[in-house]
Structure 1
Amino acid sequence: MTTANRLSWTDVRDHIHAQILDRTYRPGDKLPRDEDIARDLGCARSTVQRAMQDLSDAGIVERKRKGGTQVRTDPVTRTTLDIPITRKEVEQRGGIYGYQLLNRIVEDIAPWVRANFALSQPTTMLHVDALHLADQRPYILEDRWISTETSPEILDVDLAANSANEWLVRNKPYTRCDLRFYAVEADQKTADKLAAPLGAALLVIERSTWIDKHPITTVRAVTRPGYQLLTQN
């Protein structure tokens, strides 16, 4: 399989998973080497490795050092949650996506960011505030911090035209993700930005990602009233 478009690790993962589901590869079968899959799909070996790691984390395949990768004979059923691209999420629900960059500045990190990453010393990161829209209505308000040490390329990205959410999902695979869900009451500033009633209960999705032990990004995504999150196996 070859493609003129650059495949993401999720594309590769879904392709391999489909081959397991249609019994191209059966339980106990050994999968081709990462480098062979990369050559056949026309993508980087690191992309295949990230895809395989996700399949391994989901309990679908088993990877052994110097032993290759094989389909598990007894797959482990786990609930997994991919980091969504908000644009695709809106479009898949039949909406028209919109995006507004509200703020972009390199500055000292906030205390909650330092706590999320368990950093012992203060540092600076790229701070991005953005509003995602669905059908011209506020959808998700992002308060995001991005490490310019692990993601220096982000400084050259036009974040007024491309959301940090989509760029990071497509370009920065992670080895660890911490995820929290909680509710807050809308203060005046948040209520104004999300066109929500003052004091409304809002779902917050807080995610932090790392590459090995090094922070990539942490984000507080505050959703509009009535937002629903769906995860599927």
Structure 2
Amino acid sequence: MTSDQKHSWSDIRELIHSRILDATYRPGDKLPRDEDLALELGCARTTVHRAMRSLAESGIVERRRKGGTIVCTDPVTRTRLDIPVTRLEVEMSGAVYAYHMVDCRHLLAPGSVTAVMGLVEREVMLNIKALHLSDGKPFIYEDRWISLETVPEILKVDLKRQNANEWLVRNRPYNRCSVQLYAEAALGEIAEQMLVAPGSALLHIERTTWLNDAPITHVRATTAPGYRLSTTS
């Protein structure tokens, strides 16, 4: 490899991964420094860094601060988690779907959203709060941030009639996704929108998508009691 223009970070990722699979790098081995791999492969250090980050996110290697990159001895089994279209989730259950946009405005993204999207500086994004209903009852309440740098065309969408979840799934492909699932007490606006008693434990799904390194959206979806999520591996 001699040109960073001809070989993307995904090419570098697959090359390093192939060395792990053929035992060139064995479990527990410390990999060469990013700078050394970049020199060997004829690419930028940032390209190797991006490839290593992807391998770490897949549970293949471990990035240790000041300790280099180690091949995992016990690789994590990854589960496939598709991004569903909420309307179809409801309709496939035999219920009637409805959607209500609670709020939509341009806001400076908070530090927590900026960090999880991998941005260095805070940006003005489109913040959408919306309620998805199943047979007239709250199903999912979402608090979504959309990057206007990556998805400027979202401003042309009538989000009172078409929900952002469905539009993004159909119109904005992604190649990287981060998901967090956790139970947390519903308070304030969330409890009010979900029609539950304050303090009720509900499942929250936080999801962030990117196209390469460009963030697309970050959403925190609060689900109704009894919500079920299916995965495949």
TM bracket (short chain): 0.5 to 0.7
Q: Which residue does 1:186 correspond to in 2?
A: 186
What letter matches 1:148 in structure 2? L
Aligned to 2:154: 154
In structure 1, what is the Cα distance between the partners aligned to 2:193 and 2:110? 21
Corresponding residue of 1:213:
213
Please report how far the alpha carbon of residue 121 of structure 1 lies from its aligned counterpart in structure 2 after TM superposition.
Answer: 0.9
Name stretches of at least 5 consecutive residues in structure 1 with no aligned partner. Answer: 1-76
Equivalent runs, 1:91-102 vs 2, <5 Å: 91-102=91-102
Q: Which residue number in structure 1 is paired with residue 136 of structure 2?
A: 136
Write the distance in 2 (CA, Å) between the matches of 1:222 and 1:130.
Answer: 11
Counterpart of 2:117 in structure 1 is 117
Distance in 2 (CA, whole Å) between partners of 1:173 and 1:202 is: 29
Label 1:99 to 1:79 Cα distance change in 2 as closer, same or farther (>3 A): same
| Paired residue secondary structure (1:198) | coil
Residue-pair matches, total:
157
What displacement does 1:118 show?
Answer: 2.3
**Contact 1:145 1:219 (C-alpha < 8 Å) held by counterparts:** yes
Kept in 2, the 8 Å contact 1:208–1:218? The answer is: yes
Matching residue's letter, 1:135: D
Q: Deviations over 1:49-82 (max 9, x none)?
A: xxxxxxxxxxxxxxxxxxxxxxxxxxxx963111
Q: List gaps (5 residues or longer) in structure 2.
A: 1-76
SS in 2 for 1:119: coil
Q: Is the 8 A contact 2:110 2:122 kept in 1?
A: no
The one-letter amino acid of 2:195's match is A
The one-letter code sitting in structure 1 at the alignment partner of 2:121 is Q
The 5 A counterparts of 1:28-39 are none
SS of the counterpart of 2:225?
coil
Given the superposition, is the C-alpha separation of residues 162 and 199 from structure 1 closer, same or farther in structure 2, using an over 3 Å criterion?
A: same
Instruction: Tell me, in whole angstroms, the C-alpha distance in 1 between the residues paired with 2:164 and 2:118.
Output: 23
- Between the aligned partners of 1:197 and 1:228, the Cα distance in structure 2 is 20
**Residues in 1 aligned to 2:221 and 2:179: alpha-carbon distance in whole angstroms:** 11
1:166 is aligned to 166
Secondary structure at 2:229 match in 1? coil
- Provide runs of 4+ in structure 1 moved above 6 Å: none
Distance in 1 (CA, whole Å) between partners of 2:224 and 2:202 is: 6
CA distance in 2, matches of 1:95, 1:231: 22
State the Cα deviation string for residues 107-153 of structure 1 (Å, max 9, x = none): 10022211211221111111000000000000100000001111111
Compute the TM-score of the two structures, normalised by the length of structure 1. Answer: 0.65
Query: What's the secondary structure of 2:100's corresponding residue?
Result: strand
* 1:43 corresponding residue in structure 2: none
Q: Shift of residue 225 of structure 1?
A: 1.4
Q: 1:181 to 1:78 in 2, by over 3 A?
A: closer
Conserved? CA contact 1:200–1:225, under 8 Å: no
One-letter identity of the residue aligned with 1:162: Q
Q: If the length of structure 2 is used for normalisation, what is the TM-score?
A: 0.65
Q: Is the 8 A contact 1:142 1:221 kept in 2?
A: yes
